[in-house]
Structure 1
Amino acid sequence: MSFLQELNNANAFIIGASQGIGLGFVQKLLQDDRFAKIYATYRQPESAVDLLTLEGEYPDKLTCLSMDITDESQIIDVVQKISAAVNKLHLVVNCVGLLHEGALQPEKSLKRINSESLIRYFQVNSIGAILLAKHLLPLFRHHERSVFASISAKVGSIGDNQLGGWYGYRASKAALNMLMRTAAIEYRRTSPKTVIVMLHPGTTDTRLSRPFQANVPPEKLFSVERTVNQLFAVIEQLQDGDSGQFFSWDGSRLPW
């Protein structure tokens, strides 16, 4: 039996939901009657207008919370707020990711690398996810099936790396994969009903990918809605033995 087949009155938590894939997940789950409560985080209210509008339209189902994933105290505060309202989570999707930010751009060569940029990549793309795993564990310790998915990237596959470049982004996504795979091993002992996976969404038409879409064939550039539907289909088919694995948007397993 897959994860979603037995869902009813479920609770979801979407991290990084102000736009892009995270917002798409919120929109999809709002239309799914199996989910009773959805918690969603954003970093800046000015970039979360659509999300906050949805909260106004679905006040009984959607709760939006401000959180910076690089600040552990904010993670703790948000988890405490969720825990005060519900005692379990069934679906968590971490959609936070950083590829470019102002002067921070993917490095095309070694001469572009600097320690500040590397630290920023790891703070956002790697460390935040494992801090979530740390603090969300009590909400996963129940007797119903649950899934904790992190949006990773195929470029974080060491075995698949044939082009080079993008040092910080690649390395931080590879670190995300290792951290979450390691967490999956511990979760098997402490929260055995939880499946932890990493998901490659494909190139999606979002702010993150927009500067790098020029050479992407139209058929390989996905809308947010298509990406969310594809990833949700992968989540629906997850089995207990899939915990700690790295899946592409089409359900295939990616090399480490």
Structure 2
Amino acid sequence: MSPMINIPSAQDLVRRALASPPSWARQPLQDWHDTLPFEKQAFVTEEHWKGMDALEVFRVVGVCHPGYVGKTWLDLLTGGQRMRQNLARLDENPDYYQPGGLRESNSGIDFLTLDGLRFYVGNNGLHRTCIARFLGDLPAGVPRLLSPVEITHYQVDYAFYGLYRRALDFIQENHLAIRLEPIRQPVGRDDGEGWKTDHFHTAIVWYDLSDRRPAKVVELDYHHFIDRLVRLESHTLKAKLLKPLGWVGRWMRRQRGRP
């Protein structure tokens, strides 16, 4: 059993933080939606969730809540919307931040990650994570591990996403009448006690709007999409090369028509 740690009062914690802020205290909270923007979400092929995980508190770099993006950890400690209530709970129940304290209270803290290295607070736990960071920076040796917490790890098909971005840029640069819509569909789930992994299939719907008839629509997986894109690039570039020759041909026909 881990030894009990002397947890400072909320007032003492804030006083120490203001008097001598840690080097990370003025780091701004990053935006989860910059890490996984809307257009990238269709390329998530796996969502792995664990309900009884542990996380080193200093690996948390950001948040989902737009109201806190860009604020620093010190801003949050001294002016977070629910920080006063959470600091009061620190005084009421300092054992919450002891080893196993979260387990006794069913914390509900959840984190999101793409790379398994940088974590973002999801729907719950930002203020408590902030308190835990400042506690963990004290020389008293307060544990830096939050446990148990929920963690969702997203796996992105970056090869398919990069191909999609390449296609969008090519279509825009060449003013082509084509619209692309990435979609994903669930294809299965693996699960066990305290964990689950959802699997998804990504495809891109290709809308050809080049004539006045109803759009030609085709749904493409990765391999069929790259084949179609390569053909489009080749055809478009060839047409560009032949365009000046068309002007020469028209000029020669006019010359032949003269008496």
Q: Same fold (TM over 0.5)?
A: no
**Structure (1 or 2) with the greater strand fraction:** 2
The higher relative CO (CA closer than 8 Å, separation ≥ 6) is in 2
TM-score of the pair, normalised by structure 1: 0.22
TM-score of the pair, normalised by structure 2: 0.22
**Structure (1 or 2) with the greater helix fraction:** 1
